[in-house]
Every structure is written in C-alpha cells, then in structure tokens.
Amino acid sequence: MDTIPTSVIVVGAGPVGLATALLLRTRGLSVTVLEAAAEHAPRPGSRAIFLHRQSLATLAAADPVLGAELVGNGLIWGARRTSYAGREVHHRAYTPPPPDRAPFSSLPQPVMEELLRAACRRAGAELRWETPVTGVTVSTDGVRVGTPEGGLRAAYAVGCDGARSAVRQAIGVRLNGPRSPHAFLVLDLADDPGHPLPQERAFHYLDPRMAGRNVLTVPFRGGLRVDVQCRPDDDPDALGEAAADWLPGLLPEGHACSVTWSSHYRFQQVVADRLTDAYGRVLLAGEAGHLFAPFGARGLNSGIADAAAATAALSTGDVSGYAHARHRAALLNRRAAGRALTHLTAPTPWHRAAQRLAAAAALCSDRAGRWLDSAPYGPRDAGIPGSRY
C-alpha cells in the first residue's frame, strides 16, 4: 500500500475536484488527486462554459494568478437578447466592467481545467492520472481508497468524480429525483474570424428558423454554444447529424459552422440522500452529490460552492455542518433549475398562455420583456444565505 502521508484524497480531476484540491492546499492540507482518465483525455458528458462572479472570487482568493487567467482567457459578453416567434421582446446592452470586477467569465471547460491543473501544481497538490478508484473503506479514524496499484490512506476523502461517482457508490449513497423527458441538443461552434458572431447571449422562444423550437446561443472565448430544445417527437441524434442543414440559418451569412463538440441530454433532477458517509470521513461534491438541469449555470458553480464548503468543513472538522448545508443547497438549486425547466418546456396550456401574453405585453411593458428574458434561467437567488448557489 502507498503510505504517502496524505491528509485528503480528492477523487476526480474535473473542475470541481481541481478546485477542491486547490482550496484545501490554501488551508495547508496535504492533497492527492486521483483521476481515472489520462491527463488530456476528452471528457464525456456535459461541458460547462460559465463561471459566475462568486466562483471567480472563490478561486481568485486561493490563487490570484488563476483568478486573472480565468477572466483573461474568458469572454464577458456585453448584451443579451430575447425573441418570441421571431420578434424581439427584450434587449439590453451594457459596458463590461474591468477584469477585476468581472461579473462572470465565459470560457470552455477544457481551458478551465488546464488553468486549474497549473494552479494545483503551483499550490503543491499531487495529481495522479490513470488511477481509477477500485473501492473505498471507511473507519472512525480515516479512509482507504483502493487503486489498481494498491491504495492510499488519508484522514478524509472528497468524491468529485461526477455523475457515475465510484466514491458515491462505494459508500452506499443513492441519487433520488426525476429525469426530464425532454431532450436538449447542445453544440459548440468555433469562431470564424471572417464572419464574427454577435457578442451577446440570445434566447429565442419558438424560433421560426428552427421550426418553432426554443434556441439558446451563448458566446464564449473562441466560440459559440447553441442549445436547442428538442420536440417530443425529435430524434436528437438525427437532429444533430443534420446540423449542417439548419445551423447556417442561425449564424451570420458565410459562417464556417465548424462544430467542435456536440451532445444531447435528458436532464436529471437528482440529489444524493446524504453527502457524507456514516463516519463523516468521505464527502461528496459537485455532480457526485447532485445533478440538475444547468439553467442558470447551477451545475459547475454549485460544485465550486461545494468545494469551498468542503474545504471549510475539513479545516474545522465540521463535516456534519457541510452535509446539512450543502444538501439543503442542492435541494434549493434543484428546485430553481426545475422552475427554469418547467418554463422552457411549458407543459400546460397555462404556461404557454403566460408566455404568449407576456410576449404581447412586451410591446409596451419592459417588465414583461424582462420576465421572458430571465425565466429560462430560474430564480437569480436560490435562497442560500451568503451564496447564489
């Protein structure tokens, strides 16, 4: 068995695992990160593109260089636009603030991870690649994480290994909650310098260019994310394969329409029944402990909030406090994301009528337009004191 004196083992080297390792090192704890994949292997599943102000502040406090890099390598778009059935119902343009007061940064997840890896190495965290977890054994005085090479012992472990978390399964924790029947197709496009994209977030209800489907476009540094809400009778795979036919209609004429990544989802709205093991030695963070629709950027950003709370808990020994506070946060975030999902899918005649009436009222009411602009992302405040997430 590996006898390196590790205080905390972090399982998973995605953004949440790397953020957890970095924050733990700022408190002086020894950290080893275990990741099943190779360092530069493409990651399955969703890709985040949005770090909120709260997440940026958390990471910048741990490493000011990282904070500046996350903003400098990202995009702060300066406008947002909403349309209903092809008619604009809301538009707001604003001057982005200086980088040291960035309200957010929009950048690809692989870039985030590269910057976080470098910050972890600067901080002295050990990163082990191609090291899958084969088991977790917990006792009152510590935890042993099994690996193909033998294993590691530590005082604590934090499972940040995503939706199929081996750590969560090993400690017998289950995810509970519904799965949305509605599919969403997501594509990332590369910039085309000869045909620049508008630097604005745009949401289109019943977009006539997409035969009445809802379409969200969000720019990030180096490209554009296109999120299409599929119809109940759509085949998401077929819709994605036909992207060359419909993408040009959403973009400036002549744009190269180069797709760099695509996937489709039926979002789960699930939360672990508990976020620690029975001994309080293993904590779950990020998608290891909760999965919900990412509207309002609640996926990655709630995971960064988990990382900060886990660091505080392991520094003070208040693991039960972590379990209670972050479980409540996960339920509140799931509820907020669920409200956004319900608005988007408009499952009842009442929901659809409310959207039509608001679109008509937006001709003379800024309030109606603002509601149509904000509702697809859920409440701005999930109801968590001191945190948006």
pLDDT band at 382 (very low <50, low <70, confident <90, very high): low
**What is the spatial distance between Cα 33 and Cα 18, in angstroms, rounded to a whole number?**
8
pLDDT band at 197 (very low <50, low <70, confident <90, very high): confident
Residue 1 pLDDT greater than 50, yes or no: no
Residue 284 pLDDT greater than 60, yes or no: yes
Percent of the chain whose predicted confidence (pLDDT) is above 70: 97
Residue 34 pLDDT greater than 60, yes or no: yes
Mean pLDDT of 94-103: 85
Of 151, 109, 134, nearest to 117 by C-alpha is 109
Give 128 or 380, the one with higher predicted confidence.
128
Residue 221: per-residue pLDDT: 94
Quick: pLDDT tens for 138-161. 999 899 999 988 889 999 999 999
- Mean per-residue pLDDT over the chain, rounded: 93
Residue 98 pLDDT greater than 60, yes or no: yes
The neighbour count for residue 299, using CB atoms within 10 Å, is: 24
pTM: 0.95
Q: Are 298 and 286 in contact (CB under 8 A)?
A: no
Rounded to the nearest 10 degrees, the angle between the axes of helix 349-361 and helix 366-374 is 130
Residue 2: per-residue pLDDT: 46
Of 313, 305, 277, 322, nearest to 27 by C-alpha is 313
**What is the spatial distance between Cα 287 and Cα 307, in angstroms, rounded to a whole number?**
12
Quick: pLDDT tens for 226-263. 999 999 999 999 999 999 999 999 998 999 999 999 99
Residue 96 pLDDT greater than 80, yes or no: no
Mean pLDDT of 381-387: 71
Single-letter code of the amino acid located at 176? N
Residue 50: per-residue pLDDT: 95
Quick: pLDDT tens for 107-132. 999 999 999 999 999 999 999 999 99
CA distances to 63, 109, 202, 368, 370 from 92, in Å: 33, 27, 11, 14, 9
Region at 278 (left for phi over 0; alpha for psi -120 to 50; beta for the rest): alpha
DSSP 315-335: HHT-HHHHHHHHHHHHHHHHH
Mean pLDDT of 43-57: 88
Mean pLDDT of 15-37: 97
Residue 3: per-residue pLDDT: 40
Residues in the chain: 389
Quick: pLDDT tens for 327-362. 999 999 999 999 999 999 999 999 999 999 999 999
Give 293 or 215, the one with higher predicted confidence.
215
Residue 150: per-residue pLDDT: 86
Residue 380: per-residue pLDDT: 75
Give 386 or 247, the one with higher predicted confidence.
247
Task: Give me the helices (H) in 164-297, please.
Answer: 166-170, 236-241, 243-246
Residue 388: per-residue pLDDT: 76
pLDDT band at 294 (very low <50, low <70, confident <90, very high): confident
Residue 56 pLDDT greater than 80, yes or no: yes
The neighbour count for residue 186, using CB atoms within 10 Å, is: 19
Quick: pLDDT tens for 311-332. 999 999 899 999 999 999 999 9
The domains located in the chain, with CATH, are 2-75+97-177+269-336 (3.50.50.60), 180-267 (3.30.9.10)
CA dihedral 337, 216, 104, 75 (to 10 degrees): 160
**What is the spatial distance between Cα 92 and Cα 200, in angstroms, rounded to a whole number?**
9
Residue 387: per-residue pLDDT: 77
Residue 95: per-residue pLDDT: 86
Residue 151: per-residue pLDDT: 86
Nearest-5° Cα angle at 352, 350 to 356: 115
Residue 6: per-residue pLDDT: 60
Mean pLDDT of 88-94: 94
Q: Which segments within the chain are labelled E, that is strand?
A: 2-11, 31-34, 50-52, 79-84, 87-93, 104-106, 126-128, 135-139, 142-147, 150-159, 175-176, 179-190, 201-207, 213-220, 223-229, 259-268, 270-272, 282-284, 290-291
Longest dimension (CA), the chain: 71
